[in-house]
């Protein structure tokens, strides 16, 4: 059985001094694996001469492919473009700053060969500053793991190996590249976390600071909604609407009893206002749930998508590929 080929996807943003060293390191490591491979560099609007470095590499090696953005769109967009452009069986994503170790790729591919769909790295001995990088990351990983119920130590590690059919089924926006393992697991992927090496940055400066944490929190809210309520929004908005309705009814009854028993003026009773506003909120949340249900059905129906995926077909017509049938979904 032939070994699976590998696409290495590397987002690049102002990494001029690291590109040639990374390329040399990959060229030392990948041939030893005995697999066909390609290197896909995504230039995310660099302005430090990184593009010229990439052009030179591409001219001398046909396995080097370059995707150039018109401007800086961010790491998630660069990752999405690289995943969609990849043509090999397995896609490996990694940073372009030399902090990920190409020597870990072979170990991760072995796990893929064993049947896993996605293998993601854990920088257990991370070589970054404690206060502004490691500590916020540990807190964020703990919150994300508890919120999504997905056991993980290091969502921020870019080094991942993913089967191409899984990777190209994902839709990434905002800062969601870090949620790839969770989104893939939601789609039924068999995921594994492994300890990987991590090196201190040698050249250049990090492009991401603690301010990005707030954007990650917003994306976490989105991911939580997608995991639990994407296919049926009424489960969320309907329950909130019912809760507001219950508050409205209870407040209305209390107001009436206070009027009948205690002769309390209804017009000056704050419970009456609570009953009115809670009922309005209930109607609004129920309406949002209905609109969400309609939108979900338009999304799945018009684009021929489903809210489930199929791993294997047995005794079906093999002339009809799975990726062309209605069972293939990209609802991430």
The answer on 179 and 159 residing in a single domain is: yes
Burial bucket for residue 147 (CB in 10 Å: 0-12, 13-18, 19+):
middle
The answer on 256 and 180 residing in a single domain is: no
Written as six digits, the tokens of 256 are 């009436």
The answer on 264 and 221 residing in a single domain is: no
pLDDT of residue 204: 66
Let me know if residue 318 belongs to a domain.
no
The answer on 296 and 198 residing in a single domain is: no
Number of domains in the chain: 2
pLDDT of residue 327: 36
The answer on 131 and 244 residing in a single domain is: no
pLDDT of residue 200: 81
pLDDT of residue 29: 94
> What domain range includes position 272?
234-306
The answer on 217 and 108 residing in a single domain is: yes
Who contacts 228 (Cβ-Cβ below 8 Å, separation ≥6)?
Answer: 235, 236
Which residues, given as ranges, of the chain have pLDDT below 50? 315, 318-332
In 10 A of CB 83, how many CB atoms? 24
The answer on 101 and 196 residing in a single domain is: yes
Domain end (from 169, 193, 226): 226
pLDDT of residue 324: 43
The answer on 293 and 150 residing in a single domain is: no
Strand ordering across the sheet containing 6-12: 64-68, 37-43, 6-12, 90-93, 160-163, 118-122, 191-195
């Amino acid at each position: 059985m032939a070994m699976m080929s590998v696409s290495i996807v590397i987002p690049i943003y102002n990494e001029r001094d690291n590109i040639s060293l990374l390329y040399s390191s990959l060229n030392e490591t990948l041939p030893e694996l005995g697999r066909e491979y390609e290197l896909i560099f995504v230039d995310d609007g660099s302005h430090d001469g990184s593009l010229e470095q990439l052009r030179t590499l591409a001219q001398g090696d046909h396995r080097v492919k370059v995707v150039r953005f018109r401007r800086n769109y961010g790491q998630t967009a660069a990752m999405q473009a690289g995943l969609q452009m990849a043509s090999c069986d397995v896609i490996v994503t990694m940073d372009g700053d030399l902090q990920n170790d190409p020597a870990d790729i072979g170990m991760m591919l072995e796990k893929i060969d064993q049947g896993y769909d996605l293998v993601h790295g854990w920088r257990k001995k991370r070589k970054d500053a404690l206060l502004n990088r490691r500590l916020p990351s540990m807190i964020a990983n703990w919150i994300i793991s508890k919120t999504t119920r997905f056991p993980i130590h290091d969502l921020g590690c870019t080094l991942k190996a993913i089967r191409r059919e899984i990777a190209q089924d994902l839709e990434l926006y905002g800062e969601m590249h870090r949620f790839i393992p969770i989104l893939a697991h939601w789609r039924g992927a068999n995921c594994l976390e492994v300890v990987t090496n991590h090196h201190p940055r040698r050249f250049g400066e990090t492009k991401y600071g603690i301010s990005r944490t707030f954007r990650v929190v917003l994306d976490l809210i989105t991911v939580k909604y997608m995991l639990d309520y994407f296919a049926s929004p009424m489960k969320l908005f309907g329950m909130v609407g019912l809760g507001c309705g219950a508050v409205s009814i209870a407040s209305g009854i209390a107001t009436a009893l206070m009027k009948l028993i205690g002769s309390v003026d209804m017009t000056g009773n704050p419970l009456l206002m609570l009953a009115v506003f809670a009922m309005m909120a209930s109607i609004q949340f129920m309406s949002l749930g209905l609109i969400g249900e309609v939108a979900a059905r338009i999304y799945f129906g018009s684009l021929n998508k489903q809210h489930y995926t199929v791993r294997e077909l047995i005794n079906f017509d093999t002339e009809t590929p799975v990726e062309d049938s209605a069972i293939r979904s990209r609802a991430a």
